[in-house]
Structure 1
Amino acid sequence: MKKKFHLFGVYGIELEYMLVTNDSFKVAPKVDELLTLKAGELRADIENGDIAWSNELVAHVIELKTNGPTKSTDDLAVKFHENILEIDALLKPLNLQLLGSAAHPLMNPNTDTQLWKHSYSEVYALYNTIFNCKGHGWSNVQSTHINLPFYDDKEFEKLHAAIRVILPLLPGLCASSPILEGQITGFKDTRLEFYKTNQKEIPELTGFVIPERVFSKLDYYTTIFEPIKRAIRPYDTNKILDQHFLNSRGAIARFDRNAIEIRLMDIQECPKADIAICALVIEVLKALVNKEFCTLQAQKVWTKQDLFLILNDAIKYGENAKVENKLYLKLFGLNGSATVNEVWKHLYQTVKPKLHQSHHEAIEIILEEGTLATRLLKAVGNDTSEKHIISVYQQLKNCLINNHLFHP
């Protein structure tokens, strides 16, 4: 039996990065070579002290994650960055580099995608048969995940309620995917625009992205897991897919490890930015759970449809999305209307005293200068030539190596 933790007792953070070739800047499906260089043999999971490395669905994405639950986010940016530098050194002889941000701006998923061919490959192959994993929503997506524990139903109720109401605001902090296939897409968070529909063949899996109003384990199984199991049965004749794995909402309950995983965050240009965002989101969730803004009941009444409308605007407009729903703003103690950016500024000021000082600068850059998507668009301007886009994203590679934020 896995050890169970109480609310906010520990955290799990996962960061996904793409491998790109130095000269052509194309994605490089060579994560297996990287893992082999590190371990001396191909291992899909490698423990490297406090951080673990593993593969993803596609062969050009590597995931770095806290090696088991960690008690604090304060030193995580440094730890992740140390691993990035180690990976960079391993990649040099291969003429490859890591790149942050949630989507490669030039990748053609139909020609550039290679699925992972090693462990778990039968799961990935089945996914590919059902959904065709060559689309952008599958093969060109890098995200940051936060895993937060709950001890029992009572804690699950509080955590799930708080997470549901915060999800619509996340693109206004994290959007980093404004360009696909050399085109400005019109969405600050194109990754999430694809996320909404990339499993349209079986709509039960993603639902409305915002999870249903379920606040107990039994309810969750009845409302979310049972329909998923029924829907997948005709496709998964050998029963190799797990309901936890299949549930693709923007936050998923992992009853196998008593945690909720938040999945709506685009990865940033460097760990300093990602961990600062994670720390901010965690503090806001703590404040919600502690009823510092509103009651638990006020959080629980929100339907997935109403929250989805706010999320949908934020996917398109990022931090500039206008929140017209006065009752939603009231949840956070705001009156009238506000942009998502104004909501985050208010939330940041409220929890800032509780945030470790190392996170302040990154949050303030994002709140003042805009999401990474906004800063990338500013840098690209009207010149969407391949050459210019590459030159802008080359700067992102430097941000990752130096662990500093991107300034256009």
Structure 2
Amino acid sequence: MTDYDWLIIGGGPHGRFAARAIAHAAPDSRLAVIDPAPALAAWRRRAAACDMRYLRSSNAHHLGARADSLRRFSDAHGYDARHALGYYRRPSRALFEAHAEATLGRLPQITARALDVAPGDTDWQVATDDGARRRAARVVLATGPGRPYRPPGLDDAEHVFDPDFDLGEPGAATVVIGGGITGAQLALRAMRAGHRVCWLTRAPPRASDFDAEPCYAGPRCMTPFVATPTAERTALLAEARRPGTLPPDVHADITAALAAGSLTWRRGTAVARDDDAVLLADGRRLAAERVILATGFASAPTPDSVLARVVQRLALVDDGAGHLALDSMLQAAPGLHVIGRPASLVLGPMAGNIKGARTAGQRLARVATGAPAAA
């Protein structure tokens, strides 16, 4: 007999929303989240490290069950217009986190780190670092982003997403590398704290409300996407995504800071560093006593992660960009579900963000009730 109906590995936005959706759809399910940290701990740490002030998602994309949940929470708790930015009413981080804490509630949690998932005769066995081995009819891998990405030649540079990252006191000439929203936010945070900052990017700053084509939030783009052969969807994902872009507020702030001379900007590709400089591909050297990477995450799972072990054990097929071949129920194998960015070939270019968390959770709730899977 299994110990659980559902085990969700990962307590970030995707895992928590999925667990809550399943528990709501099937209240009698034996369910638990496996994560060594409190709810959304890694997400909160990364958001604080780069001083995220507003989410990039609209106020329709949140972790509540109802579409209007965030708006109703904001009204009920006295959040004013400063917590809803622009035409899309993007929520402040403070509002989003308060709403997430209130709406997700308390879910059964196993405070341990999942080490491995292996198939049993009729179930899945999850090994954790507390020495236990638990059995579940269904397992959801919601392990979040992989390791921070370090470009070749910069393997020893610190990364804003390192667990022990600390901006520290100003003083050193600092180069922030990364042209996307995280790099811009970090450069602004360091500037406001009094650091001498040079922001290094491969292209000029570009504004975009969202990090993917917004039509993928609905059927206009998702219907033809899922009708496209799986082998051709990777190209559609690359075309739809907008890496290295900034939402209008961050773009305005960084542009104003550059115009005022409060920080400097250089365009180029870093290929190496030494004690006092960053070497660029064109031979230039940028003075740098400190280098901080804001270059996102590697597309492949961390080699010693539970996801990497599962991929290897089950010989799962990916597209070379970190996206796994899953069925319409987000299964890599019967009873083993994967959500987050690896599910992009099914859920589209928004699979890794809040919209993707909502879509995945709603789909798993249908699985929990035995309803037919969505297309």
Question: What TM-score, normalized by structure 2, do the two folds share?
Answer: 0.28
TM score, norm. by length of structure 1:
0.27
Q: Whose helix fraction is larger, Structure 1's or Structure 2's?
A: 1
